[in-house]
Amino acid sequence: MESNKYIVSAAPHIHTKSTVSGIMRDVIIALMPSAVFGCVIFGWRAAAVIITCIASCLLSEFIFTKIMKRKSTIGDLSAVVTGMLLALNLPPQIPLYMAVIGSAFAIIIVKQIFGGLGKNFMNPALAARCFMLIAWTSAMTTFVNPMMGYGADAVSSATPLAVMKAGEGTLPSLRDAFLGFIPGTIGETSVPMILIGFVYLLIRRVITPRIPLAYILTFAVLTYFFGSRGDMSAAEYTLMQLCTGGLMLGAVFMATDYTTTPTTPLGMIIFGVGCGVLTFVIRRFGGYPEGVSFSIILMNVAAPLIEKATVPRSFGQKGGSAS
């Protein structure tokens, strides 16, 4: 009588409003404070790097999907996120052509070759950063003092991590390190800006605190007890280590990348702890003052194994859902 008037589909008939592009948009919003702060203290050069990276990522994704005759995926906004993350992990003075090549590497080699969104096994932005570190070591490790970007003659300066590693040079005050008035990559210097993004992501339920907290706590505990702190107090040294380098940015935005981390709750904690241990080992014993990118990438590679080992015990296997 009235057939075919209604849509017939399988249950459930309601869904959350959350979508992939919505989540990516939330990540972009969460990155805004850090990006804006980077532009303020490092000047127009930082803005140019951010825009270049986003544009190159989008373009790479567009061209690649075109050539492969796949449906264009730039609408899911994940390429914008990759571009922003990469830019925030680059020094503000980086030559723009390098930023372009790095972006193309992130999208084409790391993400699309492996099947695109959801399939890559390394965080595209971090893998690209590591590639750039190897390819252009000096350009990637030359940092400038904040607030100098406005003049033509930016003064290059050692990062606090490098100072601590070398045991010579002057360290900024803890307050400056926390607020972000130190040399570093565009988005990593200001802890408050990163924390604003963190809280936003938590409120929007984009991420859970499992990985960032496990990461930061593990690193802090190891550094407190086993750090080579020279003549600094353990607490001061630990705080300085936490506030400098890419630790906060990495823990909040990079180590929480869905695709390259385990989907199991316990797996996430193990992943965070692993990142913390590796970062500590690299910073403490490695030849290089920074270890966040490499640590996360190494854990990315281990993520499938961790996931396999942490399949939750189901309700019926008892204990699995004991609350």
Partner 1 sequence: MALTFKGGLHIPDFKLTAKLPVIDLPGDKLHYFPITQHKGAPLKALVKTGDHVRVGQKIADAEEFVAAPVHSSVSGTVKDVCPHVNSIGIKTETIVVENDMKYETAENLRPVEDISALTTREMLWVIRDAGIIGLGGAGFPTHVKLNPPKQVEFLIINGAECEPYITSDHRRMLENPEEIIDGAGILSKLLGVKKCYIGIEANKRDAIDTLRREVRFNSGIEIMKLKTKYPQGAEKQLIKAITGRNVPTGKIPADVGVVVINVDTVYNVWRAFRKGIPVIDRIVTVSGDAVNKPANFRVPLGVTVSYMIEKAGGFKAPPQKVIIGGPMMGFAQYTTDTPVAKTTSAVIALLEAQPTYDPDMPCIRCGKCVSNCPMGLMPNHLNKAALDRDIDAALRFNIIECIECGLCSYTCPAKKNMLQNIAAFKPMAMKAARRGSTSGK
Interactions with partner 1, residue window 128-147 (CB under 8 A)? none
The answer to whether the beta carbons of residues 280 and 219 sit under 8 Å apart is yes
CB 219 within 8 A of CB 276: yes
**Shortest Cβ 258–partner 1 spacing (Å):** 5
Stretch that binds partner 1, among 189-197, 238-246, 263-271, 285-293 (CB under 8 A): 263-271
Residue 1 contacts partner 1 per CB under 8 A: yes
Instruction: Report, in Å, the least distance between residue 59 CB and partner 1.
Output: 21
Identity of the amino acid at 49: V
> Residue 19 interacts with partner 1 (CB under 8 A)?
yes
Residue pair 61/82 in contact by the 8 Å Cβ criterion: no
CB under 8 A: which stretch of 14-22, 191-199, 234-242, 285-293 binds partner 1?
14-22
- 143 beta partners: 157
Q: Which of 20, 40, 109, 281 binds partner 1 (CB under 8 A)?
A: 20
Please, what is the minimum distance in Å from the beta carbon of residue 94 to partner 1? 29
| 133: enclosing H helix or E strand | helix 124-135
Contacts of 97 (CB under 8 A, 6+ apart): none
Contact indicator for 144, 205 with CB cutoff of 8 Å: no
Which of 266, 253, 265 shows the shortest CA–CA distance to 292? 253
DSSP state for residue 9 in the 8-state scheme: -
287 vs 316, beta carbon nearer partner 1:
316
**Among the listed residues 95, 234, 265, 301, the single contact to partner 1 using CB under 8 A:** 265
Q: Report if residue 68 touches partner 1, rule: CB under 8 A.
A: no
**Distance (Å, rounded) from C-alpha 268 to C-alpha 265?**
5
Binding track over 181-220 against partner 1, x by CB under 8 A: ---------------------------x------------
State both tokens at 84: 């922003």
Nearer Cβ to partner 1, position 173 or 263? Answer: 263
Q: Which of 3, 138, 170, 233 binds partner 1 (CB under 8 A)?
A: 3
From candidates 259, 293, 295, 300, binder to partner 1 by CB under 8 A: 259
Is 170 strand, coil or helix? coil
Q: Which two tokens stand for residue 268?
A: 């996430």
* Binding flag, residue 18, partner 1 (CB under 8 A): yes
Of residues 169 and 265, the one with the C-beta less far from partner 1:
265
Q: Which residues pair with 156 in a beta bridge?
A: 144
* Nearest in space to 94 (alpha carbons), one of 51, 137, 126, 49: 49
Please report how close the Cβ of residue 207 comes to partner 1 at its closest, in angstroms. 9
**CA end-to-end distance (rounded Å), the chain:** 51
Helix (H) or strand (E) holding 144: strand 143-144
Query: Should residue 175 be labelled a site residue for partner 1 when binding is judged by CB under 8 A?
Result: no
3-state secondary structure of 32: helix
* Cβ nearer to partner 1, comparing 9 with 233: 9
- Is the distance from CB of 307 to CB of 262 less than 8 angstroms? yes
Among 82, 103, 261, 279, binds partner 1 (CB under 8 A): 261
Q: Report, in Å, the least distance between residue 73 CB and partner 1.
A: 8
Binding site for partner 1 (CB under 8 A): 1-16, 18-20, 22-23, 71, 76, 115-119, 208, 258-259, 261-265, 268, 311-323
